[in-house]
Every structure is written in C-alpha cells, then in structure tokens.
Structure 1
Amino acid sequence: MDHIKTALQAYNFGTGFFDFVASNGGKYTKEIAIKFSQEQYKKVTHTGMYHCLRPEAVPYQACYGDIVHP
C-alpha cells in the first residue's frame, strides 16, 4: 500500500518525490511528504508565486503541493 501512496503523492509533487522517499527510508509517511513540501517550498517561496492554499499546511510551512492527499 505504501508504494501506491508514494505514487499518488509523486503525481501531486512530481517525480522527484520518488527519489526523496528512497533517500529517506524508502517508505511513504505523511512526515516525509511534509518534509518534501517544506524543502520544495523554500526553493520557490522567493518568487511570490506560491502560498499555502490549505490551512492545514500553514503551521508546517509545507505549502508546496498537497500534503493532505497522497
């Protein structure tokens, strides 16, 4: 089941999520999705084009992609 969640989240985040999961234990977790979102958001936040659409993501500053739905 974890590989399905990883694939679904990669559809949301992009294929780089596969490598990120592999280098962080190889198993999907919500925490890994949050960490990936945080790291990617830090890379693009300066553009002003991205902001948190989901209130659930704001406390984590995990505003890249959708951390709620894998």
Structure 2
Amino acid sequence: ARGLPVVALVGGLGPGWEELSRLGVRAALPAVDGPITLEGAMQNAAALLETAAARCASLLEVGALLGGGER
C-alpha cells in the first residue's frame, strides 16, 4: 500500500479478515449485501461490485464532509 490508505472490496468477510490490516488495508467492504450462493454471487459479480463501490464512495464522501483526515 506504500503508505496510502486502502479500501478493499471483498467477496465476503469471514474469520480472520482483520489480518488484512497487516497488508495496509484500512477497511474491507463486502460486495454482497445479504445471503447469496456462490453461484449467484459469481453470476452477479459485476452488479454486486458496482453497488459495493457506490457504497464505498458514499462512505468516503461522508468522511470528507466530516473533515476525516489521517488519524
């Protein structure tokens, strides 16, 4: 990550996801927003990632509006 904050869009969050912080990931957001089969997730991957990216952008916008700088 070379010192840059990283947000990862991931398939899902399971046990041990916190380990991503060792790699420089500041936040991990799941692409799925509810129960779904692996097949369903794979078939709808593009739409799921697009929606997750929009949620991520909204969160980043809120952080900027709140004056969220480096902590």
TM-score, normalised via structure 1 length: 0.33
Max Rg structure: 2
Q: Larger % of helix: which?
A: 1
Flag the structure with more relative contact order, 1 or 2, with Cα contacts below 8 A and sequence separation at least 6. 1
Q: Larger % of strand: which?
A: 2
